[in-house]
Amino acid sequence: MTAELAIENHFIELLSERENQWRYRPDLKTEAALWDNLRGHLNRMNTAKLEGIELTDLEFKRVRTEFERQTGTPFQASQWLRGENGVAQLPLEREDGTSVSLEVFRNKDIGGGTSAYEVVHQIVPDTDHKTRGDVTLLINGLPIIHVELKNEAAKDGYMQAFDQIKRYAIEDGFFNGIYGATQLFVISNKVDTRYFARPSQNTPEAYERMKKFLFNWRTEDNAVISDLFDFTREVLRIPDAHELISQYTILVDDQKSQKFLMVLRPYQIHAIRKIRAQAADHKGGYIWHATGSGKTITSFVATKLLAQHAIGVDRTIMVVDRTDLDSQTQDEFTKFASEFHTGQTSGTSVSNTLIVGIKNQYQLSKSLLSAKNNNTILITTIQKLSAAIRSAQKESEAEGTQRFEKLKKEHLVFIVDEAHRAVSDEEMKKIKKVFPQSTWFGLTGTPIFDENKKQENGSYARTTQDQYGDLLHAYTTKNAMDDEAVLGFQVEYHSLLSEDEQEDIVRGVNGDELPTDLLEQEKLIPTEAYEQETYITALLDKIFDRRSLLKKFTFKQGLPTMSAILTTHSIKQAKAIYHELQRRKAEGNLFTGKAFDDRHRMEDPDFPRVAITFSTNPNQAEIGLMSNN
């Protein structure tokens, strides 16, 4: 037995263990056998619709033709599997002339209902190329997840398995026919395991683009799961594998050129699961995910799943920042709504519409007062929401109905994308007063902790935890860089204080005690030290060294091709740096170091063009003064 076959056999044994719920089918070895198996599942699932009369050969031939039409491209297959109200169906005209819609896949029947789970391996497809797929996971007879395995000594590791899938798809036609339903791939060389969504097309370009989206699995506390068997226990057991397909993959369609299936990363899935569990207990909290790691998608999917699947949640409302809603986010939501076909709406929503509330407060007010609709989520800004609540109350009172009083008693769940930009604690408290049963979740890349808490202002929250509740899940910038989910940093450390200066400052604030570790010393340096004129002078001298500038700003033909951001310790320090920089620039003594020459020159007379920006807490008493400054 080869090492690869031994890995495959143990993998199947693990899947077949009772707690993982996959039934091993060694009798299925060809694509023809898979078709016969699917036929059996269709008869089982549709006994009532078929009135006890199983599909004839001619009828199943018609079913097969319709299946191949619905799965003609990978994107079409994904759309079809989403189905009308979550149920994938195939229309059939029976031999007696009657018409029925056969249920094939129910996205909500996770771990029960009509769903049956089977595992097969070494399937020979109905193609001229007699290739064999390693392991396939079937749901109701449909090949939904395909796994390709290599041994530990494989030259290119798991990428050898990726290249094999690519070859099967493009050259061999393996993922046509019944394999046209495949949604997810898993690749592994036993010690390194990745998963990825099926590319949108069976082309070299589509598979090349997908190389950036081969995800490893992380546990809830961000430990990487590389081993195939550990991955299997964490991800491929039931109900988790079915959830990954039905709840944590989304269709993206911008109605133009972008049409593809996206599977969420593990940290997004963990965060959503936490939100759903907390919402069921009427408890809020916040998610700390690194900037650029996909918080908006996480918010959107969490909101959608709460609307469609949560027990005890009456309505879900996603609150976004005003500027985001007017531009970027609205386009994103339109793309994510593609599986519902109808996308955004105005006016009263219909049963298969996902997004309501973007356009205006009147639309939002109508939606709040309408009957609950599990296929609808509300997306708005805090400003439109506050106005819509007032409008809904007035409308209900004018009509003499109790609709608004009923709404006040409902369990509303608010998910706030960009927790501190979109909603202040003052605004949240006002809405909670109207809806005392509401639950709030905030997503942020920059949480506010005790160390950087807001200035005291009455009873308003000063930290993220004060406003939203406990931290539910964290995925830091370090985690994101490890996963290459965000761009990395080139870190250079420059100390602008001499050792003697640093020691004097630390002794002065630490009772003449001096920690031996330099980093521990730095932690004790007060903010005021960074605001001193001598420090700011040293900072500008360092940044505006001529040779360093040419390198950092990548000057070409005497002009800069890069921009830069300088983050500061405080608003006061930012202002001091800005004013000193502008003074030195005006006096012509900003640049330091060796003079420019013919090979190293700067021909931009306005360099650097500098602006200063900072955000203030809207509850701070001095906001007016800061705005004037």
Tokens for 305, please give them: 């799943």
Q: Regarding beta strands 377-380 and 355-356, do their DSSP bridges make them parallel or antiparallel, or are they unpaired?
A: parallel
Dist. CA 33–CA 23, nearest whole Å = 16
Looking up tokens 């898979």 gives 34
User: Structurally, what CATH architecture does the domain formed by 3-262 represent?
Assistant: Alpha-Beta Complex (3.90)
DSSP-based three-state secondary structure for 152: coil
Q: Looking at this protein, which amino acid is placed at residue 623?
A: I
What's the pLDDT at 624?
45
C-alpha distances (whole Å) from 150 to each of 6, 164, 188, 462 are 10, 10, 6, 53
Question: DSSP class of residue 319?
Answer: E
Query: Is residue 111 a contact partner of residue 242, using CB atoms and an 8 Å limit?
Result: yes
Blockwise average pLDDT, block size 10, the chain, 629 residues: 87 93 96 97 97 97 97 92 89 96 95 94 83 94 97 90 95 93 97 96 94 95 96 96 95 77 96 96 96 88 86 88 61 62 39 56 81 73 88 89 90 92 91 95 93 81 94 94 78 81 89 86 85 89 88 86 86 90 92 82 87 63 45
Of 312, 317, 260, give the one whose Cα is nearest residue 76.
Answer: 260
Secondary element (H or E) of residue 102: strand 99-106
Selection from 455, 464, 474 nearest residue 424 by Cα: 464
| SS3 label, residue 387 | helix
Of 239, 411, 438, which is closest to residue 310 (Cα–Cα)?
Answer: 411
For residue 1, give the amino acid letter.
Answer: M
Which pLDDT value is given to residue 351?
A: 40
Gap between the terminal Cα atoms of the chain: 76
> What's the CA gap between 195 and 420, in Å, rounded?
34
Residue type, 412: L
Q: Which pLDDT value is given to residue 193? A: 97
Contact 234, 217 (CB under 8 A): yes
Please give the class, per CATH, of domain 264-482: alpha beta
- Parse the chain into domains and list their residue ranges: 3-262, 264-482, 526-628
Nearest residue to 75 (alpha-carbon basis) of 201, 162, 163, 248: 201
Q: Could you identify the residue written with the tokens 């705005």?
A: 627
Residue with tokens 């993922």: 175
DSSP letter string over 536-592?
Answer: HHHHHHHHTBHHHHHHHTT-BTTB---------S-HHHHHHHHHHHHHHHHHT---B
Cα–Cα dist 132/102, whole Å: 30
Within 8 A by CB and 6+ apart from 86, the residues are 106, 107, 108, 246, 308
Contact between residue 376 and residue 307 where contact means Cβ atoms under 8 Å apart:
yes
DSSP string for 154-197: -TTTHHHHHHHHHHIIIII-TTSGGGGG--EEEEE-SSSEEEEE
Helix runs in 234-327, H state only: 240-246, 266-280, 295-309, 322-326
Residue 342: predicted pLDDT: 35
